[in-house]
């Protein structure tokens, strides 16, 4: 892939929540394109499996576990990456939680705070630690994995949707603040993707049937189909793009009702 705008040789990437699903696919693709990748999630063993696979394929990956809801662990993730690889060029904020499924007005304070802390505040923490050193070099890319849940209302995952809408606003504001220093910040909003995180939605046959019937492509997505957009936003191919959200949902948000 050398001499293409997608070549990531010499770049260093952190991908949170990268032991499975979209995060794993993203970490593996970034490594294939030449990036050195920090694989991170709460479970060390699961991360090690991903990193071992990348290294066995000729890539360069290391593991730094992190629960993104804990500031000290987020600080350790960034500090550990800089210690190991010397810098951070690409930050993929992928890890998220959704501990509540039901009517919005019935959610407990604890569950709401957990959603907002993990899905929004952690992205601010990560950005605050990673962006300044990107700005010093005049180049960097932050990619926040949001969701079409931030674009639409929901009767069962409303709080999650609020957090993902907040990520859109976070992206736009950071893009404005750090664009003059050469740092780009963008979001990706996937639709329903076949991941463990969304298992409750796609394992429900009735729900899956309804969703695919109203999706122009008549199917749900696969993690690899989101990873391609991560690679685009991480690379020079998207060098004039910032503050934007790429929707990847099989067309469901455009479909006639």
List the catalytic residue out of 85, 100, 160, 232.
160
Give burial (CB, 10 Å; 0-12/13-18/19+) of 257. exposed
Residue recorded with tokens 């429900």: 204
Give the Å distances, CA to CA, from 202 to 43, 162, 198. Answer: 24, 21, 7
In angstroms, the Cα distances linking 91 to 123, 244, 255 are 10, 16, 32
Verify whether residue 160 is a known catalytic residue: yes
Residue 89, C-beta contacts closer than 8 angstroms, at least 6 positions apart: 11, 12, 13, 35, 134, 139, 140, 141
CA 143 to chain CA mean position, Å: 6
- Closest to 82 in 3D by CA, of 134, 122, 147: 134
Give all strands (DSSP E) within 66-224, no chain letters. 90-93, 140-145, 183-190
Whether 174 contacts 131, CB under 8 Å: yes
Positions marked catalytic = 160
């Amino acid at each position: 892939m050398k001499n293409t705008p997608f070549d990531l040789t010499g770049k260093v990437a952190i991908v949170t929540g990268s032991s499975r699903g979209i995060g794993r696919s993203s970490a593996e693709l970034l490594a294939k394109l030449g990036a050195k990748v920090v694989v991170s999630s709460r479970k060390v063993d699961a991360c090690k499996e991903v990193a071992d696979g990348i290294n066995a394929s000729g890539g360069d990956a290391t593991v730094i576990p992190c629960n993104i809801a804990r500031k000290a662990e987020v600080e350790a993730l960034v500090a550990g990456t800089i210690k190991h690889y010397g810098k951070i060029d690409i930050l993929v904020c992928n890890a998220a939680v959704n501990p509540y499924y039901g009517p919005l007005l019935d959610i407990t304070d604890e569950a709401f705070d957990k959603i907002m802390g993990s899905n929004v505040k952690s992205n601010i923490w990560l950005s605050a630690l990673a962006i300044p050193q990107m700005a010093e070099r005049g180049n960097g890319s932050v990619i926040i994995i949001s969701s079409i849940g931030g674009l639409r209302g929901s009767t069962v995952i409303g709080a999650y949707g609020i957090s993902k809408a907040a990520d859109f606003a976070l992206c736009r504001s950071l893009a404005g603040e750090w664009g003059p220093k050469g740092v780009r910040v963008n979001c990706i909003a996937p639709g329903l993707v076949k991941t463990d995180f969304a298992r409750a939605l796609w394992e429900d046959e009735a729900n899956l049937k309804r969703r695919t019937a109203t999706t122009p492509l008549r199917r749900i997505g696969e993690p690899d189909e989101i990873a391609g957009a991560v690679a685009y936003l991480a690379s020079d191919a998207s060098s004039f793009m910032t503050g934007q959200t790429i929707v990847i949902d099989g067309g469901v948000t455009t479909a006639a009702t």
